[in-house]
């Protein structure tokens, strides 16, 4: 799986624009959390190369970029969680789950 790194707050504007043509997945990951590692591995092990044509995946390292996570919470009106997966479509969050509720199949149901 080829994640797009989410390293700058300004990328949220890009994500909103991209989400007008295809849904965008944001995965907020804590590298120190075993539950976060499990959730990440579940997505990565199910992901197919063809999924990149349906939904664009972004990876956010929460320990390095908590400011971006805070902006995501404010911008989309979603309480910060870790791990957390969000799907953005047409500039709005249409899905969010955290911890063991993050499921590849639920995310892919939202792909165009």
Please give the DSSP secondary-structure letter assigned to residue 3: P
Beta bridge partners of 29: 61
Q: What is the CATH number of the domain that holds 61?
A: 3.40.30.10
pLDDT (average), residues 76-102: 95
15 is in which domain, residue-wise?
Answer: 4-108
How many Å apart are CA 10 and CA 102, to the nearest integer?
26
pLDDT in tens, 25-84: 999 999 899 999 999 999 999 999 999 999 999 999 999 999 999 999 999 999 998 999
| pLDDT at site 72 | 97
Q: Tally the domains of the chain.
A: 1
Residue 77 Ramachandran class (φ > 0 left, ψ -120 to 50 alpha, else beta):
left
Between 111 and 108, name the one with better pLDDT.
108
């Amino acid at each position: 799986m080829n994640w797009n790194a989410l390293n700058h707050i300004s990328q949220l504007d890009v994500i909103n624009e991209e989400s007008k043509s295809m849904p965008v997945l944001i995965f907020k990951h804590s590298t120190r959390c075993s539950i976060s590692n499990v959730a990440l591995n579940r997505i990565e092990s199910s992901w197919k190369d063809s999924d990149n044509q349906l939904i664009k995946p972004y990876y956010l390292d929460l320990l390095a970029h908590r400011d971006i996570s805070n902006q995501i919470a404010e911008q989309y009106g979603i309480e910060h969680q870790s791990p957390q997966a969000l799907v953005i479509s047409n500039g709005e969050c249409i899905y969010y789950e955290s911890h063991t509720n993050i499921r590849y199949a639920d995310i892919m149901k939202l792909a165009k």
